[in-house]
Amino acid sequence: MKQVNAISGQDLREMFVAATGWLEKSSAEIDALNVFPVPDGDCGTNMLLTMRSTMEEAYRAPDRSVSAVSQAMAKGALMGARGNSGVILSQILRGLAQSFAEKESFTAVDLVNGLQQSVTMAYKGLSNPVEGTMLTVIKDVAAAVQAQVSSDGGDLISVMESAVNAAGESVANTPMLLQVLREAGVVDAGGQGLYVILDGALRYLRGEMEQMRFRKPQIIVSEIHATKLPQMIAADEVPYGYCTEFLLKGEKVKTDKIRSKLEKKGESLIVVGDESAVRIHIHTLDPGEVISYAASLGTLHQMSIRNMDEQHQDYLEMQKDRAPAVDMAIITVASGDGLADVFNSLGTSAIVPGGQTMNPSTKDLLQAVESVPSDKVIILPNNKNIVATANQVQSLTEKTIEVVPAETIPQGVAALLAFDYEANLSTNVQIMKKAMSGVKSIEITRATRSTKIGELKIKKKQPIGLLDGDLIATGKNNADVLDQMLAKLDLDKVEVITIYYGADTKSAEAEEISSRIREQHPQLQIEVVRGDQPHYNYIVSIE
């Protein structure tokens, strides 16, 4: 098996030439993942442009030493950095260059030290580092190669394989660390780009240049289903402003002072460089103020000001174009990651976050309707307070809308299970309505205040139980309330009980409750599902 113990400056350059070509093949797919920090669909493009500038400068290196080539690459990356991802990438390359200083070639140990330095530089450049991004990915990569070298000597191919594997695992995990990625059901775009770059470099070392011509990089897919549509990600009605970036040249420029001055002028601030050249990137509503301040410190070069609101609209159109055409779409209202997973697994086209105390507006539902790739849409409100809102949507769109008036989550699930992909719209509405009418819904929550309803005396924060929306039980704990409610039902006619436990409920409690029901009613099929719903400790479906 081929081994590489040291890499020259020329090979370093050709590694990244291969990596840049590999990145180019997937830049559009990476753009489509781009939802953080702004859903503007340009991350892959920014990283590619940064790498092109990096490699242009690499060919201008004064000699073929690793030191000269890596310094040239770092300079090219800084000069040509585009967007958050490009600037962070430039810092990663700068860390490598600092570690490779005065070296003719580099070994596995040198690479490990270089990646550790890359982590330091990448985090140092940001005023507000966020985990679940390419920062996390480079940190995980550095940790993995450290362990690899400790156990497996000096083979650079083995070390790079460890780096690529760690990058892939880290990218796949990014939705667990960053809420906006979970909501969109995607991995971090910058992290994906870094994975592709490392993978391209590894393939060069393996001698796979010919195979790369006929293949494309792997795009890592999130295992988490989207719970928000692209236009719902980030703050509603708040302008994104302008992505403002430029190179500041001067004498004895102080990056820390600039960072401190600009921190309150916008978001996503990155200030990197040295005393003579500083790359500044910021998302701001007033680029003029930022530019005026920077101009007082030196001369400005490579200035770019991009309207992120326009970029966001272009991104939404791109997402719409990528969406597959379907004959009928189903839009569901739900709150909670677990319930979102349930509805996605049953074929929901889009989920609008909402439910009790957080009813979506007509506009929210209309946005969802317009976003799905179908002219025939079924809406499942899953809450009695949302049904009327859903009925308003038809008058606002040219699409054909049908509302299946599910008033609870169990009714919505039953309706979805009955959906027939071979039936037409009207037939599906009929069979979905029939299916949901055969389901009873129990909801267990806590009283917001003390009161008396009929014969029930209720204390504040006491567990209470609703059956199909009617308050019928109160008790000392959740299990007590559920027992009272089940006792009021004819369970001999019931086949399946599904228990969805809420965000504030421990899974152990839910399992204990289900076990007791099984003991008392062994004929029943009982399922326990993580719902993560707010407000309700339990939502129980009785079928």
Q: What is the CATH number of the domain that holds 398?
A: 3.40.50.510
The answer as to whether 470 is a domain residue is: yes
Q: Do 367 and 490 have their domain in common?
A: no
CATH number, domain with residue 514: 3.30.1180.10
The answer as to whether 236 is a domain residue is: no
Closest CA to 190 of 88, 268, 278, 115: 88
Q: Do 424 and 472 have their domain in common?
A: no
Q: Do 195 and 46 have their domain in common?
A: yes
Question: What pTM does this model have?
Answer: 0.64
Q: Do 22 and 114 have their domain in common?
A: yes
Q: Do 168 and 248 have their domain in common?
A: no
The answer as to whether 279 is a domain residue is: yes
Q: Do 141 and 265 have their domain in common?
A: no
The answer as to whether 237 is a domain residue is: no
Residue 52 to residues 56, 342, 424, 432, 483, Cα–Cα distance (Å): 6, 44, 52, 54, 66
Q: Do 103 and 19 have their domain in common?
A: yes
d(CA 268, CA 282): 5
* pLDDT tens by residue, the chain, 543 residues: 567 888 899 999 999 999 999 999 988 888 888 766 666 667 888 899 999 999 999 999 989 899 999 999 999 999 988 888 999 999 999 999 999 999 999 998 999 999 999 999 999 888 888 899 999 999 999 999 988 776 555 788 889 999 999 999 999 999 889 887 787 778 899 999 999 999 999 999 998 888 888 888 988 877 666 666 555 555 445 677 888 889 999 888 898 899 888 988 888 888 888 888 989 889 888 889 999 999 999 999 988 888 877 777 766 666 665 555 557 889 999 888 888 888 887 888 888 887 776 788 888 898 888 878 788 999 999 998 899 999 999 999 999 999 999 999 999 999 988 888 788 999 999 999 999 888 999 898 888 788 777 777 878 888 888 888 888 888 888 888 888 888 888 888 888 899 999 888 898 998 998 898 888 888 888 889 898 888 889 988 988
Q: Do 499 and 426 have their domain in common?
A: no
Query: Domains in the chain: how many in total?
Result: 4
d(CA 278, CA 387): 55
Q: Do 512 and 370 have their domain in common?
A: no
Residue with tokens 């008396």: 452
Task: Give the domain-ending residue among 197, 226, 255.
Answer: 226
Domain membership of residue 261 as a residue range? 242-312
The answer as to whether 500 is a domain residue is: yes
Q: Containing H/E element for 150?
A: helix 134-151
Task: Give the domain-ending residue among 173, 192, 226.
Answer: 226
CATH number, domain with residue 276: 3.30.70.260
Q: Do 251 and 220 have their domain in common?
A: no
Instruction: Assign residue 153 a region (left: φ > 0; alpha: ψ between -120 and 50; beta: otherwise).
Output: left
Q: Do 147 and 26 have their domain in common?
A: yes
The answer as to whether 106 is a domain residue is: yes
The answer as to whether 88 is a domain residue is: yes
Q: Do 407 and 272 have their domain in common?
A: no
CATH number, domain with residue 122: 1.25.40.340
The answer as to whether 68 is a domain residue is: yes
* Contact in structure between 464 and 446 (CB atoms under 8 Å): yes
d(CA 219, CA 409): 34
Task: Give the domain-ending residue among 163, 196, 226.
Answer: 226
